[in-house]
């Protein structure tokens, strides 16, 4: 598929993440990451990739029905901006697949940091050229989103898992990957990150 | 049981949390909190309360074997301070039970904020009068800890659950409660919380 507008994974012009490879390794150790998770996440990615639109229908349904969340996608008049919602959605689809399949290397760290900045007041709305009443995604929602982004995935994995153990392995790896992402995306917000 | 040293839940002299009841409600909505979770968490608390020492053995084993985590408990010489580890452990035991049983009201918000400040550079080491080489718990570890604090609990719930649905309900509620706590504990770190 062609890259969505604003998608810059592997763009060498991206800024270098302030998160070091050592910090990433310790962060992964803290959330119990193992090679088994990497393998299970690859399997999960193969299952999820053909279902990204259904997954996003579910997630966008939740966001759209939650005024405090859809406020993030407001235009200059405070009402949800359809083009903004659509542009983010296309990149969100790629995020699902990349989260499962990407090497967690420097290019990936740099891209995670770019996404992080796009939530923060220093970078929000810029990528899509939006005039928005929302200057920033509150950091607490990035943390809280670990729950909906995790629990909703089980139903997409379950029908395609080899067996119960495979399902638990893929679901557990996804949970860790989402939590790792949340931690990385909080980087621009905190002095004591 | 008597209150551990430094335990101040329901102490009217605690500072008021900067998190409002409305912010808490929206945060809970973001992580899909429902009344069923409140009920399931009560049941989980009854199961976990008699097992807190075994749970803490597991958690402290993990922290103790991870140099970047046990560094938080360093004394003035950089080596783990046994008294500091013990004082925190006693409060951590109460946190498990309180997380399951407490009303999430203003007193609880105030206590969560006090705990949050005790991780942050403005409050760490003060409660236990420790001279430590660790001035602050890095915020990213508070987020990452959602994984180990969640996944390790399943084994303590499973043997005592009424059935598979009850286990999933309790485990899911615990996951949400841990994530909610992590979000609240990041409050002192971030300008754009």
Separation between Cα atoms, residue B109 and residue B105, nearest integer Å: 6
What is the predicted pLDDT for the residue at B1? 60
Phi/psi of residue A73, nearest 5 degrees: -100, 20
Residue B115 contacts residue B185 (beta carbons within 8 Å): yes
What is the predicted pLDDT for the residue at A191? 84
The whole-angstrom distance between B185's CA and the closest CA on chain A is 10
- A93-108 pLDDT, tens digit per residue, is 999 999 999 999 999 9
Q: How many CB atoms lie within 10 A of CB B107?
A: 16
Separation between Cα atoms, residue B103 and residue A15, nearest integer Å: 45
Best of B41, B59, B146 to substitute, by most chain A Cβ atoms within 10 angstroms, is B146
What is the predicted pLDDT for the residue at A53? 98
Is the pTM value of this prediction over 0.90?
A: yes
Quick check: A139 and B193 CB within 8 A? yes
- Can you tell me whether residue A9 is helix, strand or coil? coil
Mean pLDDT value across residues B122-150: 97
Q: What percentage of chain A reaches a pLDDT higher than 90?
A: 98
Using 50, 70 and 90 to split pLDDT, how confident is the model at A1? low
Q: Decide if pLDDT at A138 tops 90.
A: yes
Residue B174 contacts residue B37 (beta carbons within 8 Å): no
Quick check: A182 and B31 CB within 8 A? no
- A154-189 pLDDT, tens digit per residue, is 999 999 999 999 999 999 999 999 999 999 999 999
Using 50, 70 and 90 to split pLDDT, how confident is the model at B2? confident
- B48-104 pLDDT, tens digit per residue, is 999 999 999 999 999 999 999 999 999 999 999 999 999 999 999 999 999 999 999
Interface of B with A (CB under 8 A): 23, 26-27, 29-32, 66, 68-69, 120-121, 136, 138-141, 143-148, 150-151, 172, 175-176, 179-180, 182-184, 186-187, 189-193
Using 50, 70 and 90 to split pLDDT, how confident is the model at A32? very high
The whole-angstrom distance between A2's CA and the closest CA on chain B is 32
* A and B: number of Cβ contacts within 8 A: 119
- A66-93 pLDDT, tens digit per residue, is 999 999 999 999 999 999 999 999 999 9
Show the tokens assigned to A7. 């998608």
Mean pLDDT value across residues B133-147: 97
- B151-178 pLDDT, tens digit per residue, is 999 999 999 999 999 999 999 999 999 9
Mean pLDDT value across residues A126-152: 97
């Amino acid at each position: 598929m062609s890259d969505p507008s604003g998608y810059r994974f592997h763009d060498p012009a991206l800024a270098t993440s302030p998160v070091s490879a050592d910090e990433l390794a310790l962060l992964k150790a803290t959330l119990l990451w193992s090679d088994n998770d990497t393998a299970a996440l690859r399997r999960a990615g193969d299952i999820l990739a053909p279902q990204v639109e259904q997954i996003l229908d579910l997630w966008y349904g939740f966001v759209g029905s939650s005024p405090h969340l859809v406020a993030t996608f407001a235009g200059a008049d405070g009402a949800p901006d359809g083009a903004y919602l659509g542009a983010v959605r296309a990149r969100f689809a790629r995020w699902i697949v990349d989260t499962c399949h990407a090497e967690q290397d420097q290019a990936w760290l740099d891209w995670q940091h770019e996404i992080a900045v796009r939530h923060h007041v220093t970078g929000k709305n810029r990528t899509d050229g939006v005039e928005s009443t929302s200057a920033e995604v509150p950091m607490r929602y990035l943390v809280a989103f670990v729950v909906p982004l995790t629990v909703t995935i089980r139903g997409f994995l379950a029908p395609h898992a080899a067996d119960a153990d495979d399902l638990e392995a893929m679901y557990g790896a996804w949970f860790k990957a989402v939590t790792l992402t949340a931690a990385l995306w909080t980087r621009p917000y905190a002095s004591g990150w």
